[in-house]
Amino acid sequence: MRRDIFQAIADPTRRAIIALIAVQAMTPNAIAEHFETTRQAVSKHLRVLTECDLVKQEPRGREIYYLLEIDKMKEIDKWLEQFRKIWETRYGQLDQLLITLKKKK
Protein backbone atom coordinates (compact mmCIF):
# COMPACT_ATOMS: atom_id res chain seq x y z
CA MET A 1 0.00 0.00 0.00
CA ARG A 2 1.37 3.41 -1.01
CA ARG A 3 0.97 6.03 1.68
CA ASP A 4 0.57 9.76 1.34
CA ILE A 5 3.57 11.86 2.37
CA PHE A 6 1.37 14.14 4.45
CA GLN A 7 0.07 11.13 6.35
CA ALA A 8 3.69 10.24 7.08
CA ILE A 9 4.69 13.67 8.37
CA ALA A 10 1.53 14.02 10.45
CA ASP A 11 3.11 11.90 13.17
CA PRO A 12 5.47 13.81 15.52
CA THR A 13 7.80 10.83 15.93
CA ARG A 14 8.24 10.53 12.18
CA ARG A 15 8.91 14.26 11.92
CA ALA A 16 11.56 13.88 14.63
CA ILE A 17 13.12 10.96 12.74
CA ILE A 18 13.22 13.08 9.57
CA ALA A 19 14.96 15.86 11.51
CA LEU A 20 17.54 13.39 12.84
CA ILE A 21 18.44 11.83 9.52
CA ALA A 22 18.41 15.20 7.76
CA VAL A 23 21.66 15.91 9.61
CA GLN A 24 23.28 12.53 8.96
CA ALA A 25 22.42 9.01 7.85
CA MET A 26 21.64 6.75 10.80
CA THR A 27 20.94 3.11 11.58
CA PRO A 28 17.61 2.13 13.17
CA ASN A 29 19.40 1.43 16.46
CA ALA A 30 21.02 4.87 16.45
CA ILE A 31 17.64 6.47 15.71
CA ALA A 32 15.91 4.46 18.45
CA GLU A 33 18.41 5.79 21.03
CA HIS A 34 16.80 9.23 20.63
CA PHE A 35 13.34 8.02 21.63
CA GLU A 36 11.74 6.39 24.64
CA THR A 37 10.28 3.62 22.52
CA THR A 38 11.23 0.22 21.23
CA ARG A 39 13.45 -0.47 18.24
CA GLN A 40 10.44 -2.20 16.66
CA ALA A 41 8.33 0.97 16.96
CA VAL A 42 11.08 2.99 15.28
CA SER A 43 11.25 0.36 12.53
CA LYS A 44 7.51 0.76 11.89
CA HIS A 45 7.96 4.52 11.55
CA LEU A 46 10.89 3.98 9.20
CA ARG A 47 8.79 1.61 7.10
CA VAL A 48 6.08 4.28 6.69
CA LEU A 49 8.68 6.89 5.76
CA THR A 50 10.27 4.47 3.29
CA GLU A 51 6.90 3.61 1.72
CA CYS A 52 6.35 7.33 1.16
CA ASP A 53 9.83 7.70 -0.34
CA LEU A 54 10.77 10.26 2.31
CA VAL A 55 13.75 8.15 3.35
CA LYS A 56 15.86 5.59 1.58
CA GLN A 57 17.93 2.69 2.81
CA GLU A 58 21.62 2.43 2.11
CA PRO A 59 23.45 -0.79 3.04
CA ARG A 60 26.92 -0.20 4.48
CA GLY A 61 28.59 -3.43 5.38
CA ARG A 62 26.29 -5.27 7.78
CA GLU A 63 24.32 -2.16 8.70
CA ILE A 64 21.48 -0.39 6.94
CA TYR A 65 21.52 3.38 7.12
CA TYR A 66 18.52 5.61 6.52
CA LEU A 67 18.94 8.82 4.56
CA LEU A 68 16.54 11.64 3.84
CA GLU A 69 15.17 11.91 0.29
CA ILE A 70 15.54 15.63 -0.35
CA ASP A 71 13.51 15.58 -3.58
CA LYS A 72 10.46 14.26 -1.75
CA MET A 73 10.86 16.98 0.88
CA LYS A 74 10.87 19.51 -1.97
CA GLU A 75 7.47 18.15 -2.98
CA ILE A 76 6.15 19.04 0.48
CA ASP A 77 7.76 22.48 0.27
CA LYS A 78 6.21 23.09 -3.15
CA TRP A 79 2.76 22.30 -1.77
CA LEU A 80 3.33 24.60 1.22
CA GLU A 81 4.52 27.45 -1.02
CA GLN A 82 0.97 28.35 -2.00
CA PHE A 83 0.12 28.94 1.65
CA ARG A 84 3.37 30.74 2.35
CA LYS A 85 2.40 33.37 -0.23
CA ILE A 86 -1.00 33.83 1.44
CA TRP A 87 0.61 34.21 4.88
CA GLU A 88 3.17 36.71 3.61
CA THR A 89 0.42 38.80 2.00
CA ARG A 90 -1.61 38.80 5.19
CA TYR A 91 1.40 39.70 7.33
CA GLY A 92 2.15 42.54 4.92
CA GLN A 93 -1.42 43.79 5.27
CA LEU A 94 -1.16 43.56 9.05
CA ASP A 95 2.09 45.54 8.99
CA GLN A 96 0.42 48.26 6.94
CA LEU A 97 -2.54 48.37 9.31
CA LEU A 98 -0.26 48.69 12.34
CA ILE A 99 1.71 51.48 10.68
CA THR A 100 -1.54 53.30 9.86
CA LEU A 101 -2.84 52.91 13.42
CA LYS A 102 0.46 54.08 14.85
CA LYS A 103 0.42 57.22 12.68
CA LYS A 104 -3.11 58.06 13.87
CA LYS A 105 -1.99 58.15 17.50
Helix (H, G, I), strand (E, B) or coil at 67: strand
What average pLDDT does range 12-17 have in this prediction? Answer: 96
Q: What pLDDT shows up at residue 2? A: 64
53 & 76 share domain: no
The per-residue pLDDT for range 21-75, each reduced to its tens digit, is 999 999 999 999 999 989 999 999 999 999 999 999 999 999 999 999 988 888 8
The per-residue pLDDT for range 80-104, each reduced to its tens digit, is 898 988 888 888 888 888 888 888 8
Residues of the domain holding 93: 70-105
The CATH number of residue 10's host domain is 1.10.10.10
56 & 75 share domain: no
pTM, to two decimals: 0.76
63 & 105 share domain: no
Other beta carbons within 10 angstroms of residue 79's beta carbon come to 11
Buried b / exposed e over 21-47, threshold 16 CB at 10 Å, is: beeebbebebbbeeeeeeeeebeebbe
* Residue 18 clears pLDDT 70, i.e. is over it: yes
Q: What pLDDT shows up at residue 32? A: 95
